[in-house]
């Protein structure tokens, strides 16, 4: 995947990308992976996302509220 595709997947919170960036080990990086990981962590903090056993929870006051990831 290209760096632009990675950013798109990070912004969309694509499951395997989230898992790889948060739980994987970086073997070789030109800075792209580290930047994507930082972007993901910052976004999850802004959303107050909580990691559950089988996924993620993003709290909100009203279930009809549309969530904007970024």
Side-chain half-sphere exposure of 37, counting CA atoms within 13 A: 14
pLDDT at residue 70 in the model = 63
Q: At 69, is the pLDDT very low, low, confident or very high (cuts 50, 70, 90)?
A: low
pTM over 0.75: yes
Question: Which tokens belong to 51?
Answer: 């990691």
25-61 pLDDT, tens per residue?
Answer: 999 999 999 999 999 999 999 989 999 988 888 888 8
pLDDT at residue 30 in the model = 95
For the chain, which residues make up each domain, given as ranges?
3-57
Whether the CB-CB separation of 12 and 1 falls below 8 Å is answered with: no
């Amino acid at each position: 995947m290209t760096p632009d595709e990675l950013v798109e997947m990070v912004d969309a919170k694509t499951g395997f990308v989230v898992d790889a960036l948060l739980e994987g080990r970086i073997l070789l990086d030109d800075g792209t992976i580290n930047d994507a990981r930082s972007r993901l962590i910052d976004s999850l903090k802004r959303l107050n996302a909580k990691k559950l056993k089988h996924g993620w929870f993003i709290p909100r006051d009203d279930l009809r509220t549309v969530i904007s990831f970024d």
